[in-house]
Structure 1
Amino acid sequence: MSMQNKPKMVEAVLFISEHGVCKEMLFPEFEALLDGIVNMPEFADQQMRAVYVLINPRLMIRAAVFFYLDFDEKGGPDRGWNIPLRHLAERSGRGPDMGAGPIRLACRSQCPVSWHQMHLWDPNLTPGQNDLVLLRDAVKRNQLGLLVEDESAPQTVAAERLQVVQEDKWFAPNPAKDDAVKVAAKLDQEHRLKTAQLIKQQRLRLSTLAQQHNEELAKFRLASDEQGSLQLAEIQALQQALQQQAELNANLKIQLSAQAETFQSGRQEMSQQLRALERHSQAEADILRGQFDAELQARIAAAVAGYKEQVAIRDVELAYRNEMDNQLQLEVGRLRRERDEFASQGGDQILERLAKLGMVFVVYHPGAGHLTIPLQDIARYQDNPLAYAAAKCFVSETQYSQWLAHYQQPNCGGTLPSGERCGMSIERIDAPSRFVTGDSNCCAGHKVNSRLRTVG
């Protein structure tokens, strides 16, 4: 084997689907993919799981970085993708032993750079579905055609590295015993290394499962809070409508009672006049009876006309209000279109040009860390940054605001018997999803009191 064909460490990128390793390429090919020279139509409009691996001449993995890569509808990679794979591989911690000693492993639960954590994923370490085993077997198949070191070739040692042992150590008193001691020490060291690697692998698996459980729990809590908020708003709307209907019924009852009293008093007055006239003459009584009936009908007609006029006025006012509402809705729609048009003609074009030049918009929010904001989410982030950060943490905006106040000043929010705020320093909750109002922001005494009140 010549010096030019001598095996050396090789960088490669492997794509993993539901059925295992589906694509393998050397790192220069991956860089050409990122530069847009080639596309991957089979990955169009998908988010693929990929692994950057460093392979030694014996086809064994020495470092691995598990990351996500998004593809557009044409199979081109995300233009804003900028994860430093080599840097993460060099800075990452120790991982499992894949045949050549512990590897350097960078994943979501073990990331040396915090703001890249959200773009990484954790390998599945379940027996029978272990992603590390899939990678090891794929590299062993050597579909990339790498130069392999011949293990059967004798290992030559340079002359300058050869040393002569001192003469008093040429003859050992008991070589068999020394060999046995060395073998036992070697077996004990190998056992310790295997045990340590197994513990490391189990800890990594436990941290991965805990993080997945926390994310699912945060999603369920967010969905429950949103559903509770919708139901509470619906109940409040129904209660308000019921109260309005009750007030309307009470007003109508008052009006009916007043009208009944008016008609009763008028009937009594007319009856008295009628009895007085009947004493004089029957003819005058008939005349008065007719006048009474006519006046009663006139009053009833006047009252009916008055109510009809009021109803007509209300109908006109209602129609006018509806017309004004429609005009206002049209005006709001027009203003929104003008705003979108002005926004598209101004800042969005600048942002789009910056994004095409490779610029990435990164912001930092406590609890969410450094967030990479896609171009299409810039407007939504500008409208409500807290809501955007809360959504990334899988909590509601209210819970995120309460947690942020606690995170900035971790003091007890309980109330002393004197009415003053407790203000005792408490342990800071770093994750918004684990923050519970009334519990996480209270000291031990107020936390116990709140629980006792809840149980009672």
Structure 2
Amino acid sequence: MQIKPQTVEAVLFFNDGGVCKEMLYPEFEAVLDGMVNVPEFADQQMRVAYLLINTRLQIRAAVFFYLDFNDDGSADSGWNIPLRSLAERTGRGPDLGAGPIRLACRSQCPVSWYQMHLWDPQTTQSTNHFLMLRDRVKRNQLGLLVEEEMPQTVPTERLQMVAEENWYAADPAKQVATRRAEKLEQEQRLKAAQLIKQQRLRIANLEQQREADINRLRELAAQQQAKLQDEIAQLRRELQQREQSAEELRAQLSAQAEGFQKTREEMSRQLRALEQNSRTEAEAARAQFDDELQRQVAAAVAELKEQVSIRDVELAYRNELDSDLQAEIEQLQKQRDALAEQSGERVLERLSALGVTFMAYHPGAGHLTIPLPDMARYQHNPIAYAAAKCSVSEEQYGQWVQHYQQPTCVATLTSGERCNMPLDKVEAPGRFQVGHSNCCARHRSQNRLRTGS
């Protein structure tokens, strides 16, 4: 009976950066049963690879599938894919060190109704999922037991005796060359078959990516077309509403014009009738009309004068209120200035009279005793005050402080990064030289060459 090598089942998870998590199959079953949650995969659809690994850390089979996780990090309870069955029934894939593996993915699935739950691994130069799996398995972070490769022994019952006439080869060198040629031809055929298989898988991946891009472009075009159609329909509705409004306005204008014309004709007729009846009655009506008009004008003028007087009173009240507010603002500003004068300097003077000494520590200058007359200058620019105490300029003191806190080279490399070569710390600001004390020997020579040129 032939002894089959023992294999181990493992599951590896992928993210955009590569393999992010790996576990043995019993741990994966615990995740599927809801006994263990994976919080880092919450509310995500993860790409997963199921592997069969032999005792020499070589991959023998791989199934690439999707697995959805809920908001709490638990696996989808409806997930049910027979990984072991797919790994046994699928076709051949690339050689990862132990001969062609058995590969199940979207483009090579032995069961059609599981195809939508699988994904195709990438084999590009920048991203190769097979190499990622091979390298991760070789690290053996799962702690698998590894057996050394031993020569296979042939059972005695499988040994066969060659006929006596074939005991001695006629030409050993020729037989060795023939076997070597046959072995080389077989290897070339296997390599060609594997290369064709990989190219077919890559072509299938490219075709799938192309179809995905075409579908995405079609969806985008359909969305844009739908958006344009909605905009056209909206514009048509607005145009229709405006045309309807224009028609209504035209009808109103026509009706008003017709009414004005009728009123004018009626008034002309009445005027002619009045002229025909009596000129006196016309003059009396005209006088009555003028009187009525004068009364209405007088009433309107009186009402407007009353409104103007009310506005004048309101304006005067507002001006008075503005004057009061301005006076109050000026008084508050005076109080603020008085409080400001009494707050800072008076407090410092009282503290100084009580014998309080103001001290501040600055690197290189040590603890400085600040007299009360120098307090304003120190508050305005403490760095300049400390630099003056050290008898150096403010710029030199500031660069010395940076060197004192981080004694490394400040020169910029060609890549744009800082040199950061460790340097000897200069303890005193007066002995610090810009471009010399804060640069390494290489950048000092470069500064010296640029200065000389």
Same fold (TM over 0.5): yes
Counterparts of 1:290 and 1:121 in 2: how far apart (Å)?
A: 101
8 Å contact from structure 1 (residues 59, 140) kept in 2? yes
Secondary structure of 2:21's match? Answer: strand
Give the total of aligned pairs: 289
Give CA deviations for 1:220-270 in whole Å, capped at 9, x if unaligned: 322321232233123212312321222232233223223323322442343
- Picking from 103, 106, 109, the partner of 2:107 is 109
- 1:196 matched to 2:211: no
CA distance in 2, matches of 1:173, 1:262: 131
Q: For residues 154 and 272 of structure 1, do their structure 2 counterparts lie closer, same or farther at Cα, with a shift above 3 Å needed?
A: closer
After TM superposition, the structure 1 = structure 2 runs for residues 95-134 of structure 1, keeping only pairs within 5 Å, are: 95-134=93-132
**Residue type matched to 2:231 in 1?**
E
Residue 24 of structure 2 aligns to which amino acid in structure 1?
L
**Cα 1:178/1:118, change in 2 over 3 Å:** same
2:63 aligned partner: 65
Which residue does 1:37 correspond to in 2? 35
Aligned: 1:20 with 2:22: no
The alpha-carbon distance between structure 1 residues 191 and 285, as it changes in their structure 2 partners (threshold 3 A), is same
The letter for the 1-side match of 2:6 is: K
1:80 to 59, 78, 81: 78
User: Cα gap change, 1:138/1:267 in structure 2, threshold over 3 Å: closer, same or farther?
Assistant: closer
Of residues 52-61 and 69-78 in structure 1, the stretch that sits farther from structure 2 once superposed is 69-78
TM-score normalized by structure 1? 0.58
Distance 1:24 1:208 in 2: 25
Please state whether the residue corresponding to 1:219 is helix, strand or coil.
helix
Structure 1 residue ranges without an equivalent (≥5): 1-5, 294-456
The match for 1:165 among 158, 162, 166 is: 162
CA distance in 2, matches of 1:79, 1:157: 48
Q: What are the Cα deviations for residues 375-413 of structure 1, in whole angstroms up to 9, with x where unaligned?
A: xxxxxxxxxxxxxxxxxxxxxxxxxxxxxxxxxxxxxxx
Q: Which residue identity is paired with 1:235? A: I
Aligned partner of 2:229 in structure 1 is 232
SS, match of residue 9 in structure 2: strand
**Percentage of matched positions with identical amino acids:** 63
Shift in CA distance, 242/289, structure 1 to aligned 2, threshold 3 Å:
farther
In structure 1, what is the equivalent of residue 207 of structure 2? 210
What is the CA–CA distance in structure 1 between the aligned matches of 2:254 and 2:176, rounded to whole Å? 115
Q: In the alignment, is residue 241 of structure 1 matched against residue 227 of structure 2? A: no
Cα distance in 1 between the residues matched to 2:8 and 2:120: 23
* C-alpha displacement of 1:292: 10
> Which deviates further from its counterpart, 283-292 or 192-201?
283-292
Counterpart-to-counterpart distance in 1, 2:287 and 2:90:
108
Q: 1:167: Cα distance to partner?
A: 1.0
Code of the residue aligned with 1:219 in structure 2: it is R
Encode CA deviations 1:166-199: one digit per residue, 9 max, x unaligned: 1111111111011111111111111111111111
Change (3 A) 1:40 1:264: closer
* Alignment partner of 1:175 out of 172, 176, 197: 172
Instruction: Kindly state the Cα deviation for residue 214 of structure 1 after the two structures are TM-superposed.
Output: 1.3
SS in structure 2 of the partner of residue 171 of structure 1: coil
TM-score by length of 2: 0.58
Q: Which letter maps to 1:268?
A: E
Asked whether the equivalents of residues 7 and 149 of structure 1 are also in contact (C-alpha less than 8 Å), the reply is no
Counterpart residue identity of residue 17, structure 2: H
Question: Which one is further off, 44-53 or 280-289?
Answer: 280-289
Structure index of larger Rg: 2
Distance 1:40 1:258 in 2: 78
Shift of 1:48: 2.1
Find the aligned partners of 1:22 and 1:96 in 2 and give their Cα distance.
Answer: 23
- The counterpart of 2:260, out of the listed 251, 263, 268, is 263
SS of 1:241's equivalent? helix
Relative to structure 1, the CA distance from residue 264 to residue 20 in structure 2 (aligned partners, 3 Å threshold; closer, same or farther) is: closer
Give the gaps of 5 or more residues in structure 2. 291-453
Q: How far did 1:290 drift? A: 7.8
Q: Over residues 411-432 of structure 1, what are the superposed CA-to-partner deviations in whole Å (9 max), with x where a residue is unaligned?
A: xxxxxxxxxxxxxxxxxxxxxx
Residue 66 of structure 1 aligns to a residue in which SS?
strand
When the two chains are superposed, the root-mean-square deviation of aligned CA atoms in Å is 2.7
What residue identity is the alignment partner of 2:206?
L
Q: How has the CA–CA distance of structure 1 residues 168 and 95 changed in structure 2, closer, same or farther, with 3 Å as cutoff? A: same
| 1:125 match: secondary structure | coil
Instruction: Name the SS of the counterpart of 1:123 in structure 2.
Output: coil
Q: Distance in 2 between matches of 1:41 and 1:268?
A: 90
Residue 282 of structure 1, CA deviation: 2.1
Distance in 2 separating the partners of 1:120 and 1:51: 10
The superposition leaves residues 204-231 of structure 1 with CA deviations (integer Å, 9 ceiling, x where unpaired) of: 0111121122123212322321232233
Distance 1:127 1:267, change over 3 A: closer
Separation in 2, partners of 1:190, 1:156: 24
Q: Which residue of 1 aligns with 2:420?
A: none
Pick 1 or 2: higher relative contact order, CA cutoff 8 A, min separation 6.
1
